[in-house]
Amino acid sequence: MASTSRFIEACWGRPHDRVPVWFMRQAGRYQEGYRNLRERYSFLEMAHNPEICTEVSCRPVEELGVDAAILFSDIMIPLGPMGVDFDIREHYGPVIAHPIREAGDLARLHMLQPEDDLPEVFLTVEQICRRLGSVPVIGFAGAPFTLASYLIEGGPSRTYQNTKRLMWEQPSVWQGLLDMLAEATVRHLTAQVRHGAQAIQVFDSWVGALSVEDYRQFVLPVMKGVFNRLNALGVPTIYFGTATGSLLPLMRQAGPTVLGVDWRTPMSEARSRVGTQVALQGNLDPVTLAGSWPAVEDHSTHILREMSGDPAFVFNLGHGVPPEAKPDNLKRLVEWVHQFPGPA
């Protein structure tokens, strides 16, 4: 049934009835129910509890009417079984106890065995699929560069100084780390598809910190290998990063089915940069959701008109839903997007 959904059809660039819409971070702190759970559990406790993850993943579909669910988890989750000691701190992000800075540090890592290491994740995927029926479930994982940046920096960074220095000055260590993370990403996503995910998204949240040439040399070859293997699974593959306007043509070369576009690049400009052989997803500025409805309507209508008639377009945000978002804005936005017809 999921193969007939407007979301899946748009990912493949096929005819569908209405513009499909879902939101990155559509389960999160803007929801009262989610905030209540966070008062009782840490994020990692939630992420390893199949019942909580199922509930949190399904609520946006049932409350907002979006066209796809996305697994509630985090890109860091597979790193725990690989030997990484980390925590996720509220309002900050991941904190790595022992960052990777040299060749010897790689010896601490071992390869992910998905079903053995994280059975709760795949039980969650199965439970979401059963609960939502024909609504497709999106699985996801972190991209090698973004995971590597956390491991090297020890947490979030503005400059990625340590990451770039290791990349430039210790290329063999960089390549070894990226190869291991790429294998883990492929294994994790393949297992999600095996347990029912009908599309998969690779989050390369921080790759926009790189120049075009550094992406071409140090990241693109690995991502080509990742998407070559993922595309063999027969489900749409989505590749998303922020501040990646200049990288979009190279990200297209990596081979995803769908490219996510952040709010900095107009959708029409993104389409001209990457051509028509890839679907686009995006790209409302998430900040609008914290304001008045007229601003949301105005900005979203501009995007919808830009992409009118494009068979390969999925409406989304340019990044995740912020905690300050008004739930009513999200619900009205879904209803508004669904008034726009898809290509017949």
Residues forming the active site: 25, 29, 38, 74, 150
User: Could you tell me the sign of the dihedral formed by the alpha carbons of 7, 9, 12, 18, in that order?
Assistant: negative
Token reading at 255: 């081979």
Strand arrangement, sheet containing 237-240: 69-70, 137-142, 199-203, 237-240, 258-260, 279-284, 313-317
First to last CA, the chain: 20
Question: How far lies 75's CA from each of 146, 226, 281, in Å?
Answer: 9, 16, 20
Taking the C-alpha atoms of residue 186 and residue 194, their distance in angstroms, rounded to an integer, is: 12
Taking the C-alpha atoms of residue 303 and residue 284, their distance in angstroms, rounded to an integer, is: 7
Per DSSP, the three-state class of 324 is coil
Taking the C-alpha atoms of residue 57 and residue 69, their distance in angstroms, rounded to an integer, is: 6
Tell me which H or E stretch contains 93. Answer: strand 93-96
Q: What is the DSSP string of 257-317?
A: SEEE--TTS-HHHHHHHH-SSSEEEEEE-GGGGGS-HHHHHHHHHHHHHHTTT-SSEEEEE
Q: Which of 321, 317, 263, 286 is nearest to 27 (CA)?
A: 321
Q: Which of 57, 43, 144, 132 is nearest to 95 (CA)?
A: 43
Q: Which of 231, 233, 206 is nearest to 142 (CA)?
A: 206
Could you tell me how many residues make up the chain? 344
Token reading at 189: 């996503």
Q: Which of 12, 28, 10 is nearest to 64 (CA)?
A: 28
